[in-house]
Amino acid sequence: MDLNSLLDHTVDGLTKGSIYALVALGYTLVYGVLKLINFAHSEVFMVGIWSVLGVYTALGITGASGFGALAVALVLGSVAAVLASAGTALAIERIAYRPLRKKNAPALIYLITSIGCSLVLVETFGFVLRQFFGPPFGRALVSIPTVISYDTLFTIGDVKISNIQVIIIVSALVMMIALDQFVNRSRLGRGVRAVAQDPDTAALMGVNKDRIIMLVFVLGGAMAGVAALLHTLRFGAAKFDIGFLIGVKAFTAAVLGGIGNLRGALVGGLLLGVAETFSSSLISSNWEDVTAFVVLIIILMFRPTGLLGESLGKARA
Amino acid sequence: MRRNTRLGLGAAAISIALAVSACGTTDDGDDDKAGGGGGGDCSGTIGLMGALSGSNASVVTPSRDGAKLAVKQFLAENEDCDITLTEFDTEGDPAKATPLANQIATNEDFIGIIGGAFSGETRAMKPIFQEAGVVMISQSATATDLTQVDQVDVFHRVVGYDDVQGAAIANYLEGSGATKVFVVDDSTTYGEPLATKVKSDLGDLVVDSDKTQEGQTDFAAVVSKIESAAPDAVFYAGYAAEAGPFLKQLRDAGVEAEFVGGDGLYGSDFPTAAGPNSEGAVVTCPCLPADQAEGNFAEDFEAEYGTAPGAYAAEGYDAANIFLQGFKEGNNTREKMLDWVNNYTGSGITKDYEFDENGDVALDKVVIWAYEIKDGALTPKEELSAE
C-alpha cells in the first residue's frame, strides 16, 4: 500500500473513529460513575439522528435550499440533536435507572433494564410511531438531505481531504477536549470524579449525588447528539436500528481505551475507526466488523483494563 | 406479607396479559380471506408471498398490486367464481418465509402460490412446496440456480433469469463505452451469482470488485476503494435497501462514474434513498415497462391504486392470470393446477407463456429493460439484449 492510500485511509478512519469516540464517551462516563453499562445509549444516538431529520423536515430543507437556509438548518439541527439526545438520556435515567438505584438493585437488573430500554426505543421508532404518524417512521431507511455538499478542502500530496472529514474530526476533538477540561477542571467535574470514586463519601462532602448522575447522563447524551449530527453529515440516513451497530462499536471502543476513562474513549474510538478502515481496504469491506472485534479481543487479552487503563474515579494529581 | 400479595397480583396480571395476547392472531399474514374456497368448480385460494413490508417492500408491492388487480378484474367478469388471494409478508427473509410456507403447504385450501418474490426466500420455499405439490409461479425471483440447477416440478417463473440479465448488463456496459468497471455485490445468493456472471462476461473491463452485506449502512470502505480505482462505471448487484445509501455516499464522495444496478434495486424507495444526485443511475430488470404491456393495464392500475405501476407489476398480473384461467377451467385441486401450469400456453400482457421443463419461459420471450432515474423516479430507458 503506498503512502497516499495510507494517508487516505487514516483520515477516513479518523473520521469514522471520531463518531465512535463521541458515542463511546457516553458509555464510559456512565460506567465510570455508576458502574453500569448503558445499552440504551445507542438509542440516545438514534433519537439524535431522528431529531435532525425532524428539524430539516420542519424547515423544509432539501438538498437544493439556499446557503443561508442550510446554515440555519445546520445550527438548529445540532441544537435539536444535542437537546433530544440529552433529554432522552435524562429520561432513561429518571424512568429506568433511578428507581433501581433507590432500591439498591443488583447489577444484573440494571443490565436487563438497559437492554429493555434499548428495545423499547428501537421499536418505538420502528413500529409504534408508524402506527400513529405513518412514514417516515417504520422499518425502511429514510434519507436525510445533504446539508453540506462534498468539497475538497485541501490536498496533501495526492490525497484529497474533504470538508466533511475536517468538520467531523475537528468538531469531535473540540467536544472531547471541552468535556475533558470540564471533568478535570470545573467544580461540577470534580463532583463527577468524586461520585465516580466513592459516591457515599462524596455525598458526605456535600456533592449532590443525584444531580451529578443526571449531569453525567446529560453530558453523555449531548456527546451522542453531536455524534448524531456528524453522522448525518457523513451518511444522510436515518433508520430505526441505526444506533445498534454504532452503539456496539462505540462500546467496544470504550472498552478498548479503558472503560471509565474519558481519554481512553477518545483513543479507543479513533483506533477502532482506523483499524476498521485499514482492514476493509486490505481485505474486503465485509471484514470490517470482524476486525473491530478481533482487535478488541487481542487488546483485552494482553491488557484487560484497556489501553489507557485508569478509570474516572481514580485520584489523579 | 405485603410483598407476597404484590407478587401474586403481579403474576396474575402477567398471566392474564399473556393469555389475552396468545388468543390474538399473529400479524404475519394479511388475511383478506373472504370465505375461502369450497363452493363450485371455479373456486380456490392462492397465496402471495414476498417482502410486503420493510426496506425492500417497494420492490415487491407493485407485483402484489398487479396480482390483486388481476383477481379483481377476473371476479368482476366471472361472478360465479370464488377465488381468494391471500398475502403473506416474508420481509424477503428466508427465515420468515419458511414457517409461512409450511403454514400454506399444510392448509389444503391453498392451490397455488405467487412467489417468492426474492431468490433467497424462494430457494427456501421450493422444497416445502414441492413436497406438498403446491405449484409456484414467481414474478421476480431471478437467481439462475432456481431452475437451472435445483429444478423442481412445482416451480415456475414468468421472468428471465440472472444469467440472461447478467449478459444483458454486460452488453449494456460495453455498449456505453466503459473501459473500467467496478463490480460490487451484496454477498447474498442473489447478488453474488449475478455479479459473478457480469464479471465473467465483462472480462478485462472489470477493474476491481468488492462486497457489501445486507443491512449495511456505512459504505465508506467500498466508496474509498472505488475512488482509488477510478472506474467509468460501477455495477451493484443487490437490493434497494443497501443500494440507496450506497449510491448516495458514492455521489457525496464525488464519484461521477455511471451507476448500474440489477433488478433488486427496482423499487420506488431507491431513488428517494439515493438522494438527488442519483439522477441518471440505471437499473436493469427482466420486466416490461407497464405502458408497453398489452391492453389498458397501466391505466387500470393507476385508476385502482393512484400510482403508476412499478417493478414487476405487469408480471404479477400475468402470474395471477395463469392461476385464474386455471381456476376457470375447473382446476381446483393442487394436482390439476400443477398440470395446468406445466402445460400452459397462452398470452399474458407482457409476453407469451409456455413453461419449459425447468419452469422457465422460452429464452426468446425474455425481455430485459434498462430503467433510469429521472426526476427522482425510475423511467424506462431502453430494451437490452443478452446476445
Q: Which of A15, A139, A141 sits opposite B245 (nearest CB)?
A: A141
What is the Cα–Cα distance from B310 to B319, expressed in whole angstroms? Answer: 16
Rounded average pLDDT over A144-154 = 80
Is the model's pLDDT at A303 over the cut of 60? yes
Q: Do B275 and A145 make contact, defined as CB atoms within 8 angstroms?
A: yes
Residues B48, B46: Cα–Cα separation, whole Å: 7
pLDDT mean over B356-363: 89
Cβ contacts of B254 on chain A, cutoff 8 Å: 150, 152, 162
- B306: phi then psi, degrees, rounded to nearest 5: 80, -5
Query: CB A140 to CB B57 under 8 A?
Result: yes
The answer to whether residue A317 sits within a structural domain is no
Tell me the pLDDT band of B10, cut-offs 50, 70 and 90: low
B111 in Cβ contact with B44 (< 8 Å): yes
* Mean pLDDT in residue range B343-361: 89
Report CB contact under 8 Å: A237, B245: yes
Among candidates B187, B213, B275 on the partner chain, residue whose Cβ is nearest the Cβ of A236:
B275
Q: Which residues of B touch A130 (CB under 8 A)?
A: none
CB-closest option in A8, A150, A284 to B224: A8
Lowest mean pLDDT among A146-150, A210-214, B18-22, B114-118: B18-22
Selection from A120-124, A294-298, B37-41 with the highest mean pLDDT: A120-124
A236: left (phi over 0), alpha (psi -120 to 50) or beta: left
**Identity at B88, one-letter amino acid code:** F
Residues of B in contact with A143 (CB under 8 A): 244, 248, 272-275
Residue A149 structural domain: 3-302
CATH code reported for the domain at B29-160+291-355: 3.40.50.2300
Each residue's pLDDT tens digit, B336-349: 999 999 999 988 88
Question: What is the model's pLDDT at position B137?
Answer: 93
So what's the pLDDT on residue B5?
63
Collect all residues from A whose CB is shorter than 8 A from any CB in B. Answer: 5, 8-9, 12, 15-16, 62-64, 139-143, 145-146, 149-150, 152, 162, 164, 234-237, 239, 242, 245, 276-277, 280-281, 284-286, 288
- Per-residue pLDDT tens for A221-261? 999 999 999 999 888 888 888 898 899 999 999 999 988 88
Out of B210, B244, B254, name the one closest to residue A150 (CB).
Answer: B254
Q: Which of B55, B218, B225 sits opposite A281 (nearest CB)?
A: B225
Cβ proximity of A195 and A33 under 8 Å: yes
How confident is the model at residue A47, as a pLDDT? 94
Same fold, B29-160+291-355 and B163-285+369-384: yes
Answer for the pair B46, B110: CB distance below 8 angstroms, yes or no.
yes
Are residues A214 and A90 in contact, defined by beta-carbon separation less than 8 angstroms? Answer: yes
Interface A-B: count of C-beta contacts within 8 A? 93
* Model pLDDT, residue B7: 64
Whether B269 and A140 lie within 8 Å, measured CB to CB: yes
Selection from A30-34, A216-220, B142-146, B188-192 with the highest mean pLDDT: A216-220
Phi/psi region, residue A35 (left: phi>0; alpha: psi -120 to 50; beta: rest), is left
Residue A301 has pLDDT above 70, yes or no: yes
The DSSP string of A262-299 is HHHHHHHHHHHHHHHHHHHHHT-GGGHHHHHHHHHHHH
CA distances, B248 to each of A143, B95, B255 (Å)? 9, 30, 10
Between chains, do B221 and A288 touch, taking CB under 8 Å as contact? yes
pLDDT digits (tens, 9 = 90+) for B256-308: 899 999 999 998 888 888 888 889 999 999 988 888 888 889 999 999 998 88
Prior bond to A304 cis, omega within 30? no
Q: Contact A158/A4 with Cβ under 8 angstroms?
A: yes
| Residues of chain A positioned with their CB less than 8 A from the CB of B276 | 62-64
CA distance A166 to B60: 41
**B220–A141 C-beta distance less than 8 A:** no
Interchain pair A9, B224: CB under 8 A = yes
Residues of A in contact with B53 (CB under 8 A): 139
**CB within 8 Å: B224 and A277:** yes
Q: Of B79 and A286, which is predicted with more confidence?
A: B79
- Phi, psi dihedrals of residue B42, rounded to the nearest 5°: -90, 75
* Grid cell 383478506 in the structure block, residue: B32
Q: Do B224 and A281 touch (CB under 8 A)?
A: yes
Which alpha helices (H) appear in B189-238, and where do they start and end?
191-202, 220-229
In angstroms, the CA B384 to CA B368 distance is 5
Nearest to B372 by CA among B364, B381, B359, B361: B381
Percent of chain B with pLDDT over 90: 43
Q: What percent of chain A has pLDDT over 70?
A: 97
pLDDT at B62: 92
Residue type, B371: Y
* Residue A314 pLDDT grade (very low, low, confident, very high; cuts 50, 70, 90): low
- Per-residue pLDDT of A156-206, as tens digits, reads 877 788 888 899 999 999 999 999 999 999 999 999 999 988 888 999 999
A309: in domain = no
DSSP 8-class letter at B37: S
pLDDT in tens, A13-28: 999 999 999 999 999 9
CB distance A140–B224 less than 8 Å?
Answer: no
Q: Do A242 and B217 touch (CB under 8 A)?
A: yes
Alpha-carbon distance of A269 to B27, in angstroms, equals 41
Q: Which residue has the higher pLDDT, A114 or A286?
A: A114
Q: Across-strand partners of B157?
A: B138
| Among the partner residues A63, A239, A242, nearest to B276 by beta-carbon distance | A63
Query: Which of A106-115, B4-13, B265-274 has the lowest average pLDDT?
Result: B4-13
- pLDDT tier for residue B26 given thresholds of 50, 70 and 90: very low
Specify the pLDDT at position A73.
87
Dihedral angle computed from the Cα positions of residues A105, A111, A114 and A120, in that order, rounded to the nearest 10 degrees: -110
Residue A307 in any domain: the answer is no
Q: Which residues of B touch A (CB under 8 A)?
A: 53-55, 57, 187, 210-213, 216-222, 224-225, 228, 241, 244-245, 248-249, 252-254, 269, 272-277
8-state DSSP, B52: -
A242 class by beta-carbon count within 10 Å (0-12 exposed, 13-18 middle, 19+ buried): buried
Domain ranges of chain B: 29-160+291-355, 163-285+369-384
**Total domains present in chain A:** 1
Kindly state the percentage of chain B with pLDDT values over 70: 90
A-chain residues within 8 Å CB-CB of B275? 63, 143, 145-146, 236
Residues of chain B with C-beta less than 8 angstroms from the C-beta of A277: 220-221, 224
- CATH code for the domain of A236: 1.10.3470
Which band of pLDDT confidence, cut at 50, 70 and 90, is reported for residue B2? low
Cα–Cα distance, B60 to B62 (Å, whole number): 6
Calculate the average pLDDT of chain A. 88
Residue B30: pLDDT band (50, 70, 90) is very low
**pLDDT at residue A119 is higher than 90:** yes
Q: Please state, in angstroms and rounded to a whole number, the distance separating the CA atoms of residues B171 and B183.
A: 14
B180-230: pLDDT as tens digits: 999 999 989 899 999 999 999 999 999 988 988 887 888 888 888 888 888
CATH 3.40.50.2300 assigned to B163-285+369-384: yes
pLDDT score, position B37? 43
Pairwise CB contact (< 8 Å): B54 & A139 = yes
DSSP state of B250: H
Beta bridge partners of B112: B46, B135
How far is it, in rounded angstroms, from Cα B87 to Cα B50?
8
Residue B23 has pLDDT above 50, yes or no: no
Band of pLDDT at residue B32, cut at 50, 70 and 90: very low
